[in-house]
Amino acid sequence: MSGWFNSAWFGGGSGSARNSGPKSAIIKLREQKETLEKREAYLESQIHDQEEKAKKNVTANKNVALAALRKKKTLEGELERTQKQIATLETQVASIENANINYQTLEAMKEANKAMKDMNKKHNIDKIDNLLDELDEQMTNSNQIAERIGQIGETHNQIDESELLDELRDLEQEKLDEQMLSAGAPPVSVPNGAEKQKQTAKQIEEEDEEAELQKLRAEMAM
């Protein structure tokens, strides 16, 4: 215990360094505790001897037995005081050890706090905010550039649907001509959408005129 205590809490060293501060106090307390423990063992032995002496003379010589019991009682009082002193020394050692642990912990926390302050001086909150704003701006610019490039590609690849329809009609006409030629019939032109619409309108107009003419004829016949 003492070796670990010396190296872990107070460090190595020699001479006066080992005899100063809490380490010196604890060494003295433990030395005194060892002395008291030796006295405790001696008193316990003496008490046992006096008790045996009283038992031996309880019938043969009562005066000797009473004297032994008186001596035993006195020794028991001294033993009790010695044990209390030992307990007090143990409490003091524990208190100093705990105080030293607290001291070492606080010193370590102070060092950590100082290190954090030094690091935060290099990166304060204003600098961090500015850095984040710059990063957001660059990300926005990058996204806008990518979007613009994509729009250029879409414009370049845009297809005219009307051209596709004209090409489709040409293919239909070509296919129809081939079929008519193979059957021995003259080619027939397939009207496009506008021509079909004109033919339908003209046909409706002619039908309306024919109906109107028939109506007039019927009225004249009456």
Domain positions in the chain are 2-124, 166-221
Task: Give residue-wise pLDDT tens across range 172-202.
Answer: 788 777 877 777 655 555 455 555 555 566 6
Name the CATH topology of 2-124: Helix Hairpins (1.10.287)
Question: Quick one: average pLDDT of 146-153?
Answer: 71
3-state secondary structure of 123: coil
pLDDT tens by residue, 91-137: 999 999 999 899 999 999 999 999 888 877 777 677 777 888 888 88
